[in-house]
Amino acid sequence: MKRISIAIDGPAAAGKSTIAKLVAKNLNYTYIDTGAMYRCVAFYAIKKKVNFEDEEGISKLLKEIDIQMLPDGTIHLNQEDVTSFIRENEVSMGASVVSKYQSVRDFLVAKQRQMAQGGGVILDGRDIGTVVLKDAELKIYQIASIECRAMRRHKENIERGIVSDLEAIKEEIAMRDEQDMNRQISPLKKADDAVEIDTSDMTLDQVVARVMNLVSQRV
């Protein structure tokens, strides 16, 4: 069976990575969490005490960064497992800031394209279908209401033992949407040939089934 490239884009906390992981498992594809790569840059900036707004300082850090995505789903930054650390709110907001910088995007997009060579991959992020993998055989734009996304993020935080406030999460998601959609470089937008899926009132199984159906149409 033909192995294709799948791009899933959409706003923060829309459940992209959850769906991507499940579909990847069903298809025995490689899942590449591009958002985690930006989070790694933000996390490293925090570690090195470089301000997110210091574009030159952030750019200089890139040559020190080695990101590995292991088959077991863990994410390693310079041989350190940072899987849980990069999900903290400060890192999320930092990722949105550093992703505006051309040097960071060039650095990570090159890595993502390298990882995606040969197909059999699912990438999710903000600009996969519009920039990173313009030729992906299947492009999905996954959305959900802010209320729904905030509830999901709040539930995730509780499961991880992270104390968080639902209203604060709503505000952060709205702010993240504003940043992502209005940044000058690679803003979040739906690719012309993407299929939009609103997951607000769908179960995980329903979303996965919808994506699997779209995959079957293309292979």
Q: Which two tokens stand for residue 65?
A: 């960064």
Please report the pLDDT score of residue 21 as a whole number. Answer: 93
pLDDT of res. 157: 87
pLDDT tens-place string over residues 80-132 = 999 999 998 899 999 989 998 999 999 999 999 998 988 999 999 989 999 99
Is pLDDT above 80 for 219? yes
Over 80: is that where the pLDDT of 137 sits?
A: yes
Q: Supply the pTM of this predicted model.
A: 0.83
Instruction: Say what percent of the chain tops pLDDT 70.
Output: 100
Cα 165 to Cα 167: distance, rounded to the nearest angstrom: 6
At residue 164, the pLDDT reads 84
Ordered alpha helix ranges (H), the chain: 16-27, 34-47, 55-61, 89-98, 102-116, 146-160, 166-182, 204-218
Question: Per residue in 191-201, pLDDT tens?
Answer: 999 999 999 99
Are 8 and 16 contacting, i.e. CB atoms less than 8 angstroms apart? Answer: yes
For the chain, give every domain's residue range. 5-199
pLDDT tens digits, 72-91: 888 999 999 999 999 988 99
pLDDT of residue 73: 80
Class of CATH domain 5-199: alpha beta
d(CA 196, CA 100): 24
